[in-house]
Amino acid sequence: MLKQYSFEETAVQTFDEKTSLAMKTENLQVFYGANHAMHDADLAFPKNQITALIGASGSGKSTYLRSLNRMNDGIATVTGKIWYHNVDINEPTVNIYEIRRHIGMVFQRPNPFAKSIRENIVYALRANGLKNKAELEERVEKSLRGAALWDEVKDSLDKSALSLSGGQQQRLCIARSIAMEPDVLLLDEPCSALDPISTVKVEETLLELQKKYSIIIVTHNMQQAARVSSQCAFFHLGHVMEYTPTGTMFSNPQIPVTQDYIAGSFG
Amino acid sequence: MNAKRTDFLATVVINLIVATVVGILVFLLAYILISGLPHVSWSFLTGTTDAFSGAGGIGVQLFNSFYLLVLTMLISVPISLGAGIYLAEYAKDNWRTSLIRSAIEVLSSLPSVVVGLFGFLLFVVKFKIGFSVISGAIALTFFNLPLLTRNIEESLSAVSRSQREAGLSLGLSKWKTEIGIILPVALPGIVTGIVLSAGRVFGEAAALIYTAGQSAPVTNFGDWNPMDPASPLNPFRPAETLAVHIWKVNTEGLANNAAQLSAAASAVLIIAVLLFNLGARLLGNFLYRRVTASK
Ligand SMILES: Nc1ncnc2c1ncn2[C@@H]1O[C@H](COP(=O)(O)OP(=O)(O)O)[C@@H](O)[C@H]1O
Ligand SMILES: [Mg+2]
């Protein structure tokens, strides 16, 4: 039996006016039919930093993350506010396709298209009206370099993306996202299907990418959260329990539930 | 019984079943080809039929079969593609969708002779189109749509959700995602479905007897203007197909070599279907390699 913790006792940091934020949610609630999967999430994400979302499986991390770029549309009911550049993008009138070009997403399982490596990157660009060949080529190189994949694939851009290894496929998915030049990048356990060496590569890539993008990464791997993130949010049964700088979260967790989770003596 | 023995027995039984199926197929093919092929000649393939006795060549019928097939596919593939995409991607899980699905199910279980009679009453009699290629093609479309729609829906649905999510997360519309990302992956399955239904259409007789008709007026193969009455492309002329011809020669043929004629025509029908299958399969694989850049 899972130990009972009070959902009242939380420690969620806020940021002062001076911190520029990439995104922010207020009272975010998510329902899958009658299943209330996310309660009152109030989180703010500073620009050009990596924020990690941690917590046990089923605690609502993916549910929360997918709400941020409206990927839960048609799957779940999301209420509350999602602020992005002073616009509440949870409004039904918002152009979700436009939003998703600004807020990119990388999924748990690498999901490159069954197309060539080049076509993986240019397909969506072209669909959005970028037709100039030279410019497309430039984006291919830039995004593959950004995802630290260029050197490995520069001679085989016309090969099927499915012929790449899992780690390469995941970096291709990252490249595909950043080719859209988003400003926020959402990653849902991007390394859970990868071997340790590929994981290190993806992590290095993320550390490099935070100079240009604001990154929110879900991970069930606490070492990973500790290695890459600046702040960390801990989710428990659909509640955000603690949100603190990563150093604090791992050395000095504020509330019993986080203490137990970090110590591995959970439930 | 231990697991190993069970496995062994199951393997034996399954292999036997497979062997039976393959055996029946090989026997059928061999029988039809051996009894028919000796009577197939160039003049048989290209010659015309004697309208009274049914003797003579099958050139016009062979052409009619292909023409009807192409016309049917031209009508039914776009419609079922639209319907399949709608059902796979857009249809909500509600009573309306289940009504559509049941309608498709019912349509697919209609006996083809009923579809043929319906086409006869509606197009041939009511709309006064007469026995014609177009009446036949529409009747065959009715008969073809449900299977093709279901096949396309299933092929599209079989493509992993994660591909759809990838498309949507890049800001692509549902439609763009479906057409540009999902459809190419589903293409080999769809082509296989089209091939299978083409085989059925090619061999269909019952739905055509009262729609495309049982006569194959001699047409002028030098005239390709579809508006001319004598043109083979004229969709309003009666067009007995190969399958209907086989049926007719067998039931009311007056030629003294009727058995040989129908055996030969059957062999040609089978070979045409086999060639068609093979060709479309190669095409499917080729298309797949082109769009997915795989080897
Ligand atoms: N598509 C869905 N439909 C219904 N319920 C879902 C769906 N996705 C997740 N859930 C439910 O929401 C809760 C949180 O799941 P999830 O966000 O996937 O957790 P995590 O990513 O932290 O493992 C779980 O109870 C899960 O069963
Ligand atoms: Mg998850």
Strand pairing category for A11-12 and A239-245: parallel
**Helices A117-127 and A133-146, axial angle in degrees (round to 10):** 120
Please check whether residues B23 and B65 belong to one and the same domain.
no
Determine the residue among A113, A117, A172 to mutate to test chain B binding: the one whose Cβ has the most chain B Cβ atoms within 10 Å. A113
Strand pairing category for A231-236 and A239-245: antiparallel
Please name the residue that has the structure tokens 């857009």.
B90
Banded model confidence at residue B287, pLDDT cuts 50, 70, 90: confident
Tell me what the mean pLDDT of segment A121-150 comes to. Answer: 93
User: From the alpha carbon of A35, which atom of ligand 1 is closest?
Assistant: 5
Tell me what the mean pLDDT of segment B129-146 comes to. Answer: 89
Distance of alpha carbon B110 from alpha carbon B207, whole angstroms: 11
Would you say the CB of residue A229 lies under 6 angstroms from ligand 1?
no
CB-CB contact of A74 with B91 (8 Å):
no
Q: Of 3.50.50.60, 3.10.20.30, 3.40.50.300, 3.30.465.10, which CATH number belongs to A19-112+183-263? A: 3.40.50.300
CB-CB contact of A85 with A265 (8 Å):
no
Banded model confidence at residue B239, pLDDT cuts 50, 70, 90: confident
Q: Does A160 touch chain B (CB under 8 A)?
A: yes
Give buried/exposed letters for A220-245 (b at 16+ CB in 10 A, else e).
Answer: bebebbbbbbbbbbbbbbbbbbbbbe
Banded model confidence at residue B176, pLDDT cuts 50, 70, 90: very high
Distance of alpha carbon A132 from alpha carbon A130, whole angstroms: 6
Phi-psi region of B255 (alpha: psi -120 to 50; beta: other; left: phi over 0): beta
Please check whether residues B208 and B165 belong to one and the same domain.
yes
Please check whether residues B258 and B158 belong to one and the same domain.
yes
Tell me what the mean pLDDT of segment B174-200 comes to. Answer: 89
Interface of B with A (CB under 8 A): 160, 162-163, 165-173, 176, 180-181, 184-185, 291-295
Instruction: Give the pair of three-digit tokens for residue A241.
Output: 């329990």
Please check whether residues B35 and B115 belong to one and the same domain.
no
Please check whether residues B136 and B3 belong to one and the same domain.
no
Number of Cβ within 10 Å of residue B271's Cβ equals: 16
Please check whether residues B100 and B202 belong to one and the same domain.
yes
Return the minimum-mean-pLDDT range out of A119-128, B122-131, B254-263.
B254-263
Return the minimum-mean-pLDDT range out of A154-163, B72-81, B215-224, B232-241.
B215-224
Residue B289: phi, psi to the nearest 5? -65, -40
Range B248-252 contact pairs with CB under 8 angstroms and sequence separation of 24 or more? B248/B54, B248/B214, B249/B54, B252/B54
Angstrom CA distances, A151 to A112, A141, A142, A145, B230, stand at 18, 10, 12, 8, 65
Residue nearest to atom 5 of ligand 1 (CA): A32
CB-CB contact of A50 with A217 (8 Å):
yes
CB-CB contact of B293 with A119 (8 Å):
yes
Tell me what the mean pLDDT of segment B223-235 comes to. Answer: 77
Please check whether residues B251 and B232 belong to one and the same domain.
yes
pLDDT of res. A201: 86
Banded model confidence at residue B295, pLDDT cuts 50, 70, 90: low
CB-CB contact of B230 with B3 (8 Å):
no
Q: Give the distance (Å) from ligand 1 centre to CA of residue A238.
A: 9
Domain residue spans of chain A: 19-112+183-263
Domain CATH number, residue B280 = 1.10.3720.10
Please check whether residues B214 and B239 belong to one and the same domain.
yes
Angstrom CA distances, A235 to A1, A24, A50, A190, stand at 18, 16, 17, 18
Strand pairing category for A11-12 and A87-88: unpaired
Residue range(s) defining the domain that contains residue B64 = 44-292
CB-CB contact of A176 with A121 (8 Å):
yes
DSSP letter, residue A189: S
CB-CB contact of B41 with B56 (8 Å):
no
| Inter-chain CB pairs, A–B, below 8 Å | 76
Tally of domains within chain B: 2
Please check whether residues B48 and B10 belong to one and the same domain.
no
| B165 with A111: Cβ contact below 8 A | yes
Residues of chain A in contact with residue B291, where contact means CB-CB under 8 angstroms, are 114-115
Please check whether residues B151 and B244 belong to one and the same domain.
yes
Would you say the CB of residue A75 lies under 6 angstroms from ligand 1?
yes
Instruction: Give the pair of three-digit tokens for residue A181.
Output: 């030049």
| Average pLDDT value over all residues in chain B | 87
pLDDT at A80 exceeding the cut of 90:
yes
pLDDT in tens, B4-61: 899 999 999 999 999 999 999 999 999 999 998 888 888 888 888 776 667 778 888 8
| A113 with B170: Cβ contact below 8 A | no
Q: Is B11 exposed, middle or buried (0-12, 13-18, 19+ CB in 10 A)?
A: exposed
pLDDT at A1 exceeding the cut of 60:
no
Please name the residue that has the structure tokens 């019993």.
A256
CB-CB contact of A41 with A243 (8 Å):
no
